[in-house]
Structure 1
Amino acid sequence: MKTQHTLVLQRTYGAQGTNGTIYYEGEKICHTIELPDKDNIQRISCIPQGRYKLEKRKYPKHGEQIGIPNVLGREAILIHPANNAMKELMGCIAPVTALTGEGTGTESRKALNKLKALVYSLWDMEGEVFLLIR
């Protein structure tokens, strides 16, 4: 039986974007930005709240990334770098170091590297990693 690890994404919803913070075992890992909540409409909405199993995904454009498969009615949802949800995201989640407004943040690549280091280390220990969005 694989060990299950759960990252918790606490969200705040706004008209221009969805902001959040990812925690692991009570410790803040990074902030996140996403599109506003538009009833899970492909490419213009953040994904619904729920518990998702994270998986490694390889993409021609982004290289190896953390993927979020099994989102109802959606495909190719990733965790990848972006500093402006409305301009750079189509339903994915972007980690950011600091939030600067609704759906905007700074130093996304730095935050992604921190998150990836954690998730990959859990995978390396044969663990399963879940993202709980609430």
Structure 2
Amino acid sequence: MQVNRKRMLVLKRIYLNKAVHGRLYMGDELLAYTIELPWRQNARRVSCIPEGVYTLRKRYSEKFKWHLVLLEVPERSGILIHPANDAAKELQGCIAPVTSITAMGRGTGSRAAMRKVLEAYDSFRGKNPVIITVTKEVSDESKFTE
């Protein structure tokens, strides 16, 4: 499958003991930082999802308002990108965009970060699906993991 990189989001993760921190990019532009639950062998509701390439779909619910759904996650369903500022208290395997990471698995400004992610999604949505690639971060910057 040939992919147009302009139609793709890339999430680069750093795996920590009690959380996963990430950076979400559209091309070279940093859209948001992310927080997730730690890797626990893809166990439902307590683990982040496996690295991979996923199709995104926009959806609305009363709880999260506009958010994104990741499709065809191995052995999982209902994996979302939605606002949350505390991974341990507010996530069950989903991804939360934040404007900054403040502590292990915690951040601030999630609703503002979510708006920016949705604007990026809307900017390249069309006939072809929008995808997200979830991968491991190569570098390890201390500010990113605090």
Q: Distance in 1 between matches of 2:75 and 2:65?
A: 24
Provide the rounded CA distance (Å) in 2 between the counterparts of 1:121 and 1:26: 15
SS in 1 for 2:112: helix
Corresponding residue for 1:77? 79
Q: Deviations over 1:60-89 (max 9, x none)?
A: 432332111211111111110001100000
Q: Deviations over 1:85-114 (max 9, x none)?
A: 000000000000001122111110000000
Query: 2: distance between equivalents of 1:25 and 1:61?
Result: 30
How many residues were matched structurally?
131
Specify the SS of the correspondent of 1:68. strand
Task: Compute the RMSD of aligned alpha carbons.
Answer: 1.4
Distance 2:66 2:102 in 1: 27
Equivalent-residue separation in structure 1 for 2:63 and 2:28 (angstroms): 33
AA matched with 2:130: V
**Gap regions ≥5 residues in structure 2:** 136-146
Report the equivalent of 2:134: 133
**Equivalent position of 2:19 in the other structure:** 17
Identity %: 42
Which of structure 1's runs of 4+ aligned residues deviate more than 3 A? none
**2: distance between equivalents of 1:28 and 1:64?**
20
Task: In structure 1, list runs of 5 or more residues that go unmatched.
Answer: none
Q: For residues 1-134 of structure 1, what are the structure 2 equivalents within 5 Å? A: 4=4, 5-123=7-125, 125-134=126-135
